[in-house]
Each structure stands twice: as structure tokens, then as C-alpha cells.
Amino acid sequence: MSRYDASTIEPKWQKAWEDAEVFTATRDPAKPKFYVLEMFPYPSGRIHIGHVRNYTMGDVVARYKKTQGFSVLHPMGWDAFGMPAENAAMATGGHPKTWTYANIEEMKAQMKPMGWSLDWTREFATCDPEYYGQQQALFIDFLAHDLVYRKNAVVNWDPVDMTVLANEQVIDGKGWRSGAEVERRELTQWFFKISDFSEELLDALDDLKDWPEKVRLMQANWIGKSQGLRFAFERTDGGEPIEVYTTRPDTLMGASFVGISADHPLARELAANNPEIAAFCEECRKGGTTEEEIETAEKKGMDTGLTVTHPLDPNWELPVWIANFILMDYGTGAIFACPAHDQRDLDFSRKYGLPVRDTFFSLNDPQPVENEAFVPPKSEKVKWVDHFAGLDEATGEEAIEATIRFAEDHGWGKGHTQYRLRDWGLSRQRYWGCPIPVVHCDACGVVPEKKENLPIELPEDVSFDTPGNPLDRHPTWRDCACPSCGKPAQRETDTMDTFVDSSWYFARFTAPRATTPTVAEDAEYWMNVDQYIGGIEHAILHLLYSRFFARAMHITGHLPEKSKEPFNALFTQGMVTHAIYKTTDKDGRPVYHYPEAVEERDGGTFVKETGEQVEVIPSAKMSKSKNNVVDPLAIIAEYGADTARWFVMSDSPPERDVEWTASGAEGASKHLARVYRLAAEIAEGADTGSDDETLLREMHKTIKAVEDGIEGFAFNTSIAKLYAFTNVIAKTKATNDTRKTAMRVMAQLMSPMTPHLAEEVWSMLGGEGLVAEADWPKVNESLLVEDTVTLPIQVNGKRRDEISVPKDMDKAEIEKLALATDGVQRALDGATPKKVIVVPGRIVNVVA
């Protein structure tokens, strides 16, 4: 009898699938379609275990759906633009393009042996001019439909390298290479008008029934709809009034100062004539642009010397402060502070000696605020101090509503709906991205490129030896003719955010070689993505941008109405994490070490080569820049793809993060070998044994359980049932014929997870054709029903005994049997039960 040998089985069946073009997606009007998509990878050059997990999940679904009669689209491509290619060019002197395409080839070579049912004929990379040219066409159409515009926005500026930094390149407020303190600087940039869709993107979340609740919640919070009041404070010097937006207008009587952003027009005006204010505003612009950095920075403020009058009392004057925590991007860039009921305002007021006035008290414990702001839930009733709208006891919600009504009635304010969602800035001052197809003409201004001139290709003769954007430095690339007047003009040198590339690739897969972004018939047939699978880290940005893009593509005629929500179902897998091993170099910058470069000894962890002790940061997202990526190739080389696939599907629930360990791959491999052995034995076996319905019952239960597991994305439970079913087949006394039937079904049930072994077993047992194309076995529901059930008997919620009864026995009889059991008698110890709860088919609980 031959032994299980993945290295011969796997290439054999991969060739069989390829020869039969089993996974090439074709539009088949006779069949329902199913579009499975996993988030496409960044071509880092090596697949890691997170990819294996992600693509195997998608593959399980794709293969399963295929056997259920769907015409399946399961494509693969490359999210190929982005910073790592430029970093590599800077580090090694190569070219981002060469580096990227070499990585793609390498990664593809690593992916092929996994046996994923991908339609490689649709492959593309976002850095292919063929792809990004169509993206430029989309941009031009968006421009024509008023979905893109230019405005100023802040970037991280490295004043030493004179370059824009990504947030990732800012470490503790300093540039990663120069170490210089980063500043916020304004540039004119392109923006997508995603905020115009705030309400729609929020409302539509309710209909995304097959999206995880948490993702919808995160997106809803990100969009951040709030109802509040807009009004203006009159300035005592008669200057332009200061417009504010507040979500807590009910606390207006507790106002202690008006705060404005350092980027507020008034702050700029004051800074122009007051060096002290100018210096403070400059100070406020120090540090990175992330919300995290701004929120956690020390709160600082400066009195402008200006005052405003309170809208309800002309004699009440409030000072105007500039504060570093007020964002110009949100609301009006100005607020009023109510320290008694907002912790940040309170900390600020205590720091600068500003007044604190209580506006309401707790009903049961009316204490004036000291150093902890009183912030009850808005739904809680509180006692109001002298509320202008005549409230005494009311909730925050009621008070907000009353205040807005009052302000509107008296004409000094207006109710306003505000969204936190900002427009999407897409300009990047970098080379390795899709060029923004516009031209700057002295006469005509900013003019879109003509579509017939697309793609606007990146020049290849560029260098990365100096910081900054090589497109800016290129001697000739910028020069062009104005598409409008034909006179000499200059190209835009900014490229697009790589999120743009990934916001429509799913649509492009439906017609990857088309000379327009999409083709109506293909989009109509294949869209939407029926099952989208990817990391939870993309819960907000990528998915929200894609939802916006789908709408914009519908408006510009590139996608049908039904595709405004492009992903019917979403599954977010957990991340594969691994410890990070970190040391610091002589300049205090972090250095990350590969797992295989460190060793544990003497209760510490050290770099093998230098003996330097490393800091171990436990379980963090695998990330190329942190060098904590684990390589699955060793497992594949040792045990084969099916073992790797089986193992990653069995080791943990897919939505959960897993700390990677390879122990257990051995066990998975043993199991597959056991299945193979069993199949071989059955294939050769003589028909002894007697007929036994138990095996068939177990078989149908297993079919059901495996289906439930796959459909509910609980692959680990499907696999647990397959283990159990293997034990059943191994031990059954049933006839060999029945065992053969069971084993063929086993091959089918395993085929989504371990397709190569499944084909081998299938053919060994005389299965017809390829198991990849065989119809999924049908569950015989009548065999699932059990005649007798085992009921646990509890006394006061503790299990004391059990009884086995016919499943339709009536309650009274069950109660009688339950009370008579030894366990219950012992636990009752002569006491009379007060009550007996019988849940038919489930449990009996005796209350004593």
C-alpha cells in the first residue's frame, strides 16, 4: 500500500485542474454566479501565514460554492503601488518598478503551490499602466461630475529633509530619517467629496445585513453624525463674530471661554500683528497630523485678549483663547467650553485659572464640580440650575432639544447636523503611485488631461538618492501641452493615495482587460462581490472608501445601480500576530529583528549575532516594517499545501486573532496521512461486515455540520466534525460498500479544505471526474432525527444525573423519571422539590 505523499499528489492535481481550466470564470447565463474575493495583497515578495489563512478561507468558500452549482469568480491581483517600493529603492538603489514586479513573480510562485482555485487569467497589478490609466479615466469622470476638488490641507513636514512624511514615518513626533521635529504644513491637495455622501453611507449601513455588526458600528462612529447648534458669539471689539458648533448647547450657561483653532482665520489674523500669538500658533502646529497625536498631546492655550458676549446675557463677557486641541477640520474650528461637564475643558480651565460653573446636578447627589467633570449619560435626568429655556428636571437629550428650539425661536442660533467624516485627501507627494491626470496651465488653470492621452505613465528614469518626490525633480516629465489651449503647461506631480487603487479593483476584476474602466455586461453579471474576506484592520478606511467609490462609479456610469453597495457579505478575519523583537540604535531609533535572528536564554531574549538584549513586544500585527512576519514556506515544503491549509483552517476561529505557532502542523499532517491510509484500505477492502445505519446517520450529520461550519465561517468546527467522522469510519463495522460511500463523501467534504488529497481519495474510490466539479452531497434530513434523547437532570442548576427517554415523551412522565433517579434522590436528601422545570429535548431542573 502506498503512503500519503503530498509532493507527488499536489502537483498532479494542480496540473489536472489547470488542464481542465476548472477555475477560469466564465459568464454562464444558465448558472447563478458567485463572486468570492479576498483583499488583494501588497507584493512584499513573500507570502506570510496571514495570506495563507486569508486566501484559504476564500478558497474554501469558492470551492464549496462551485460544487453547489455556482459559476464562481475568484480572482487575484496585486495592490502594487505604495511606499515600501520607494523605501527599497532608497535602501538598495534599485527601481520601484523592478522591485515590485520581481516581488510579484516571487510571491506568485509561492502562491501557486497552495492550490487555491484562483482565476489567474484575470490577474493584474495596480501599477500596470493598463490599470492605472483606467483609474485616471475614472478621476477625469469624477472631476466632470464634481466629485473631486482642490483645497488646502495639512501634511507632516520634515523641515530637515524638506519632504512630506507619512504618519508611519513620524516616530514620537520626529522624522524617521532626519530625527527632526515634524511640523504640520499646508499644501493644496485634491479631495474626493466623500462627505457629500455622509448621510447615505450611514443610512445604507442598516441594509448590510451580512456585514459584521462591529464593522457597521465602527463605520457609523467614523461618519459620526451629530445634532447640535450653530451660533455666533458677538465680539466686544465689533470684529467678525465667532461662529461655533456645539453638540451640548444645553450647557451654554456653563460657558467659561471661547476656544479657537490655531488655524482659525481669526487666529491667523491676530498672529499677523502679534508675534507672541504667532509663536504660539507655530507651537500648536508642532507634531504630527494624526488625531491620536493631537488628542494625547498636552493641552495648551493662549488668551488672545479678545472678548465676546454671551448670547443670552449681553453683560456677560467671555475670553477668547487659542487652544491646540481644537481642530480646524471639524465644525467651525471654534467652540465654547463648559468645564463643569467636559473633562478636557475642565483640565484646561483648572490649568489656566478659568471659571467653572455648574449648569446641572445629579438628582441624588448634587455636588459642585471639583476636578472631575460631571458627565452623566444624555438620557439621565438631572436637576438644572436656572435654565434659560425654563427646565427644572430634565435629561440632557430633552435639554438639548429645548435649547435648540429656544435659540431658533429667538433667532440667535440654528439646529445643525454635523458629520465627523472629512473629505478624502488623495494627493500624495510621492513617485510610486498613479499620477493625477491634470495639467496646470498659466492661462487655463487646472485642466484635466484628455482621455485619449491616457495613461499618463510614470517616467522610469528617476532616482531616489535625495528625499522628496522624484517627479518634481524630473527634467522633462512635467512638461506637456495644455489639453485646453495647447500652450506649454506642466503636469501635476502628485500621485494618488493607494487607497484609490484598492477602491475599485473588485469592479475591474469583472473585465480586467477592457479599454474602459468596466464593461456594463460583465459588471451586470458578476457584480456584486458575494463574499468579501479580509483583515479587520480594513474595517473603516478601505471599506468606506470602496463604498464611496462604488457610488461615484455609479454616478459616472461605470457601475450599475445595484453595485452602490459593492460587497454583499463581508467577513473580517482576525490577524495573525507575532511578537516583535526590538532594540534601539545609537541615535535612539528602533531596530526590529526577525524571529529567527533572536534566541531565548537566561530568562531574557537576545540577538543571536550580537548578544544584545532585545525588548519583546508580545503579539502585534504582522508587519513588514516590524520584521515580525512568519514564513509559511517551511511548513509547505515539509508537509505540503494541504497540511498547511488544513492546519490554518483548523487552528482557530477565523475571526479571532491568532498568535502564530507552528506546533500542530505535525498533527494535521498525521491526520491527512490517516485519511489516505483509510481510503487506500477501503479501496482494496473485501466486503465483510454487516449493514449498519449508524455510519450513514453519522455521514449525514457530518455533511450538515460541515455545511454549517463553512456557511457560518466556523471552518474550525467543520474540521472538528471531519476528525470525528474519520474516527467513526475507522471503527465502523459497516460493509465495505457503505464505507466506500462514506469515504467518498468524506473526500467531498474535505475538498474545500484539502483539495489535492480529496481528489486523490476520490479517484482511489472510483469517484467520477474531478471532486472539484462533483455536486456537493445532499443531506438526508430524515437521518438526522434521533429517536431517543439523553436529558441531563439538574438539582438547583447543578447536574446530578441523566436519563435516556424517547424524544416525544410527555413532560409529566419525564418529571416522574427524573425525580426517581439516584442522583436526584441523593441531592434532595429527603426534601420535597418546590418546582420541576422540564425543557423537552433539553434538560430537567429540579428546584429544591
Partner RNA sequence: GCCCGAGUGGCGGAAUGGUAGACGCAGGGGAUUCAAAAUCCCCCGGUAGCAAUACCGUGUGGGUUCGAGUCCCACCUCGGGCACCA
* Residues in 642-661 at the binding interface with RNA, rule: CB under 7 A: 650-653, 656-659, 661
Q: Find the distance separating the first CA and the last CA of the chain, reported in whole Å.
A: 62
Residue type, 619: S
- Tally Cβ neighbours within 10 Å of residue 49: 22
Q: Take residue 485 and report the three cell numbers written for it.
A: 489651449
Please choose, from the candidates 437, 385, 432, 352, the residue with its C-alpha nearest in 3D space to the C-alpha of residue 143: 437
Q: Return the residues of window 423-482 that contact RNA according to CB under 7 A.
A: 424-425, 427-430
Please list every residue from 499 through 518 that binds RNA, using CB under 7 A. Answer: 499, 502
Segment near RNA (CB under 7 A), from 115-123, 166-174, 381-389, 514-522? 166-174
Pick the binder of RNA from 353, 603, 618, 830 (CB under 7 A). Answer: 618
User: Considering only 66-74, 518-526, 739-747, 794-802, which stretch makes contact with RNA by CB under 7 A?
Assistant: 794-802
Burial readout 242-278 (b: 16 or more C-beta within 10 A, e: otherwise): bebbbebbbbbbbbbbbbbbbbbebbeebbeeeeebe
Contacting RNA (CB under 7 A), which of 304, 359, 751, 845? 845
In terms of CB distance, is 589 or 842 closer to RNA? 842
Contacts (CB under 7 A) with RNA, residues 93-122: none
Burial letters for 509-524: b for 16+ Cβ neighbours within 10 Å, e otherwise? bbbbeeeebbeeebbe
Q: Which is nearer to RNA, 111 or 155 (CB)?
A: 155
Question: Interaction with RNA in 254-283: which residues (CB under 7 A)?
Answer: none
> Considering beta carbons, is residue 238 or 797 the nearer one to RNA?
797
Residue at grid coordinates 448670547: 311
Q: Is 226 a residue that touches RNA (CB under 7 A)?
A: no
Contact stretch for RNA (CB under 7 A) within 52-60, 312-320, 506-514, 832-840:
832-840
- For RNA, the closer of residues 746 and 772 by Cβ is 746
Strand partners, 229: 246, 415
Residues 197-216 that bind RNA (CB under 7 A): 213-214
CA atoms within 13 A of residue 202's CA, in its CB half-sphere: 16
Binding residue for RNA (CB under 7 A) from 92, 221, 515, 780?
221
Q: What is the 3-state secondary structure (H, E, C) of 570-630?
A: EEEECCEEEEEEEEECCCCCEEEECHHHEEEECCEEEECCCCCECEEEEEEECCHHHCCCC
Q: Does 819 bind RNA (CB under 7 A)?
A: no
Q: Per CB under 7 A, does 592 bind RNA?
A: no
788 in contact with RNA (CB under 7 A): no
The site that binds RNA (CB under 7 A) totals a number of residues, namely: 105
CB of 34 to RNA, least distance (A): 25
Site for RNA in 516-555 (CB under 7 A): 536-542
Residue 473 vs 677, nearer CB to RNA: 677
Residue closer to RNA by CB (options 204, 541) is 541
Stretch that binds RNA, among 112-120, 560-568, 602-610, 619-627 (CB under 7 A): 619-627
- Alpha carbon 502 to its chain centroid, in Å, reads 13
> For residues 302 and 319, is the Cβ–Cβ distance under 8 A?
no
Does 164 contact RNA by CB under 7 A? Answer: yes
Query: In the window 312-351, what residues touch RNA (CB under 7 A)?
Result: none
CA angle 465, 471, 473 (to 5 degrees): 60
Q: Which is nearer to RNA, 18 or 659 (CB)?
A: 659
CB closer to RNA out of 596 and 822: 822
**Sequence-ordered alpha helix ranges (H) in 260-395:** 265-273, 275-284, 291-296, 343-352
The binder of RNA chosen from 167, 466, 610, 788 (CB under 7 A):
167
Identify residues 363-402 at the interface with RNA (CB under 7 A). none
The type of residue at 783 is L
Cβ–Cβ under 8 Å, residues 185 and 148: no
Q: Is the CA virtual torsion 213, 216, 222, 226 positive or negative? A: negative
Residues 6+ apart with CB under 8 A from 782: none
One character per residue 661-680, x = contact with RNA (rule: CB under 7 A): x-xx-xxx-xx-xx------
Q: Rounded to an integer, what distance in angstroms lies between the CA atom of residue 523 and that of residue 160?
A: 49
Contact status, residue 33 vs residue 73, Cβ threshold 8 Å:
yes
**Residue choice 261, 289, 643, 738 for contact with RNA (CB under 7 A):** 289
Q: Which of 274, 605, 623, 627 binds RNA (CB under 7 A)?
A: 623
Q: Give helix then strand counts, H and E, for the chain.
A: 26, 36
598-611 burial, b at 16+ Cβ within 10 Å, e below that, comes to beeeeeebbbeeee
Rounded distance, CA 186 to CA 380, Å? 43
CA dihedral sign of residues 166, 168, 169, 173: positive
630 binds RNA (CB under 7 A): no
CB of 827 to RNA, least distance (A): 6
Please report the DSSP string for 413-454 in residue order.
EEEEEE-----EE-EE--SSSPBP-EEEETTTEEEEPPGGG-
Least Å from the CB of residue 652 to RNA: 4
**What residues between 571 and 590 interact with RNA by CB under 7 A?**
575, 577
Q: How far is the CB of 619 from RNA (least distance, A)?
A: 5
For residues 21 and 600, which CB has a smaller minimum distance to RNA in the complex? 600
Which one of the spans 26-34, 244-252, 763-771, 831-839 is the region binding RNA (CB under 7 A)?
831-839
Please report whether residue 155 would count as binding RNA according to CB under 7 A. Answer: yes
User: What SS3 class is residue 288?
Assistant: coil
Q: How far is the CB of 553 from RNA (least distance, A)?
A: 20
Q: Are 343 and 299 in contact (CB under 8 A)?
A: no
Which of the stretches 112-120, 263-271, 584-592, 790-798 binds RNA when contact is defined by CB under 7 A?
790-798
Output 483 or 752, the one with its CB closest to RNA: 752
How far lies 122's CA from each of 113, 364, 510, 533, in Å? 18, 67, 8, 18
User: For the chain, what is the largest distance between any 2 Cα atoms, rounded to a whole number of angstroms?
Assistant: 105
Q: In what order do the strands lie in the sheet with 71-73?
A: 71-73, 33-38, 531-535, 570-573
Choices 9-17, 553-561, 630-638, 820-828 (CB under 7 A): range interacting with RNA: 820-828
Q: Which stretch binds RNA (CB under 7 A): 333-341, 384-392, 601-609, 799-807?
A: 799-807
Surface-to-core class of residue 826, CB atoms within 10 Å of its CB (0-12 exposed, 13-18 middle, 19+ buried): exposed
| Residues in 713-742 at the binding interface with RNA, rule: CB under 7 A | 714, 716-717, 719-720, 723-724, 727, 730-731
Q: Do the strands 301-310 and 495-496 form a parallel or antiparallel pair, or are they unpaired?
A: unpaired
Interface of this chain with RNA, residues 25 to 54, rule: CB under 7 A:
42
Beta strands in 705-834 (DSSP E): 788-795, 798-806
Map residues 50-79 to x or -, x wherever contact with RNA holds by CB under 7 A.
-----------------------------x
For RNA, the closer of residues 155 and 761 by Cβ is 155
Cβ-based nearer residue to RNA, 256 or 289: 289
- Should residue 166 be labelled a site residue for RNA when binding is judged by CB under 7 A? yes
Which range in 117-125, 271-279, 291-299, 760-768 contacts RNA by CB under 7 A? 291-299
Query: Judged by CB under 7 A, does residue 83 bind RNA?
Result: yes
HSE toward the beta carbon, residue 207, CA cutoff 13 A: 12
- Lay out the site mask for RNA across 405-424 (x = CB under 7 A, - = otherwise): ---------------xxx-x
Among 72, 335, 695, 827, interactor with RNA by CB under 7 A: 827
